[in-house]
Amino acid sequence: MDPSITLITLGVDDLERSVAFYRDGLGFETKGIVGTEFENGAVAFFNLASGLKLALWPRKSLAADSGVALQPASATEFSLAHNVGSRAEVDAVLLQASRAGAKLVKPAQPTFYGGYAGYFQDLDGHLWEVAFNPDLASLG
């Protein structure tokens, strides 16, 4: 398998509220909610860097489509990471997320690898790390 991920889908409890958080609060670009004419079809897509897309889809729709029973959400199943170019950018993004309604779960602080990072949870509890990693370019 070629590990080429093109779309990340987050299951959300309130699609309109989550779209507003990402669009209005974090500034992610979207055409809004599409697919409302289909049962379990309402979804919103956001363009990210390098052609990657983020989709927000109601958790009940994701469960119906996959055939997996709706389960309690867990913030520690995975995290998304947003890497920036400086410590100041980490602080700015965490502040922006907080102002948009995110829960700051770990304030930015120096990391064991010589960087600087903190965490927030979006409105559905999805965990985001915001980090400055001076050595990230050498990891690829």
What does the pLDDT profile of the chain (140 residues) look like in tens digits?
A: 777 789 999 999 999 999 999 999 999 999 999 999 999 999 999 999 989 999 999 999 999 999 999 999 898 888 999 999 999 999 999 999 999 999 999 999 999 989 999 999 999 999 999 999 988 755 44
What is the spatial distance between Cα 122 and Cα 128, in angstroms, rounded to a whole number? 8
**What is the domain extent for residue 59?**
7-66
Residues 53 and 16 in one domain: yes
Beta-carbon neighbour count of residue 91 at 10 Å?
Answer: 17
Residues 86 and 112 in one domain: yes
Give CB contacts under 8 A, 24+ apart, made by 37-45: 40/64, 40/65, 42/15, 43/15, 44/15, 44/18, 44/19
If residue 129 lies in a helix (H) or strand (E), which one and from where to where?
A: strand 127-132
> Residue 134: inside a domain, yes or no?
yes
> Residue 85: inside a domain, yes or no?
yes
| The pLDDT of residue 124 | 95
**Beta carbons of 104 and 93 less than 8 angstroms apart:** no
CATH of the domain at 95: 3.10.180.10
| The pLDDT of residue 13 | 95
> Residue 2: inside a domain, yes or no?
no
> Residue 124: inside a domain, yes or no?
yes
Strand partners, 43: 34
Residues 86 and 117 in one domain: yes
| The pLDDT of residue 92 | 97
> Residue 100: inside a domain, yes or no?
yes
| The pLDDT of residue 9 | 96
CA distances from 130 to 11, 46, 100, 126 (A): 21, 18, 15, 13
pTM of the model: 0.87
If residue 106 lies in a helix (H) or strand (E), which one and from where to where?
A: strand 103-110
The radius of gyration of the chain's CA atoms, rounded to the nearest angstrom, is: 16
